[in-house]
Structure 1
Amino acid sequence: NDLGIQVLGGAGYTREYHAEQFWRDNRLNPIHEGTNGVQALDLSFRKLWQNKGLGIQILKREITQDLDSVCTLKNAPESAKLASKLMPYLGHLHEVLIHLSKVLQTEKALTLTANAQALMNIFASIVVSWMWIRQASTAEQLLNNEIDSNRQDSEKQNFYHGKIQAAKYYIDWELPLINRDIELLKNDNTVCTDMQADWF
């Protein structure tokens, strides 16, 4: 929505365009949802480790099964490429969680308090990427079915192409941004915890 307003060259933030209302509605989400920091702490210190990590095990299993099935589809080659780009990030997430499980038992646990948002960024990007791949896979199969059956519904075909392209955008542009967060967590970055009140 923010980018949509930019595309309209500033004219988007007027009542004549829907983008203005969408962006104002979107700005309410942080108020409704509370603070990301608290949710990040809840994820990092409580939710991940409940029931001996059963929740994260189930999540990783579901994502892996979906990605594996997408890669075996004959009529969804673009989605298979996207799945292959996401798969390594599941490995990175696993490495980060193993590392953090050890860190939490040491005096370095304080660094995770400051870096919890990085962990939530990793989770969010992986899960959103997964959702985009599911949509792209379905769109690609439906698009191929339309073409195979010689249907000429251009509106549907444009919609399917749009889903695939949006998935490509997210996987290529947004997902790689979490490489920074992965490195911060693996290296127990202390920049935030080292800050002193007198330095402000």
Structure 2
Amino acid sequence: MKSDKPRCGAKTRSGGTCQKFPLLGGKRCAKHGGGAPQVRRKNKQRLERYAVEKKVAREVQALSVDAIDGVTDPLAELQRLTTEAIHFKDALGGMVNDLEKDISTYSSDGVEHARTVIDLYGAAMDRTAKFLEVAMRHDIAGKLAAIEEAKAVAVGAVLMRTLNALNLPPEQIEKAHKIMVAEFRKQELEAADE
């Protein structure tokens, strides 16, 4: 039974490809350059980066909403992605702050971890800035507010048509209209407080 794990893949003298497993975090086996000090260092960086990204992804996933199948509302999706990018940046920021507490006791592995966390934090800040720039440039908040307002107007129109279809006296329709307006405003204030 053949394993699905990646293989070294280096070209052998016989013309085939090496079928040995690469060193942990690497792409080549020890015989084909995977054991070189600079390669080992890069493998270690790759593993450290993977570990930090995995940890932060778990933290962000705990904060974010369930993934959706297919994007039906691109504005809401952009808003969700922006929120996730901010959470990711904040989680990495917390990790950077934690580095300061015991930086004097770092071994070479600790320095590599610190470098990885700081590099990821810088990339997360850049990514967050790009999302926020897109959101501002396209006035996402304004467009979402306009959509919600249009929905409210549509609901109000349906309710008014329903009241008119009931053949109620004009006084009762007017009273119902005032109550609906008050309830919509109350709902809007409650939503703003959340």
TM-score, normalised with respect to structure 2: 0.35
Larger relative helix fraction = 1
Bigger relative CO (Cα 8 Å, ≥ 6 apart): 1
TM-score, normalised with respect to structure 1: 0.34
Greater C-alpha radius of gyration: 2
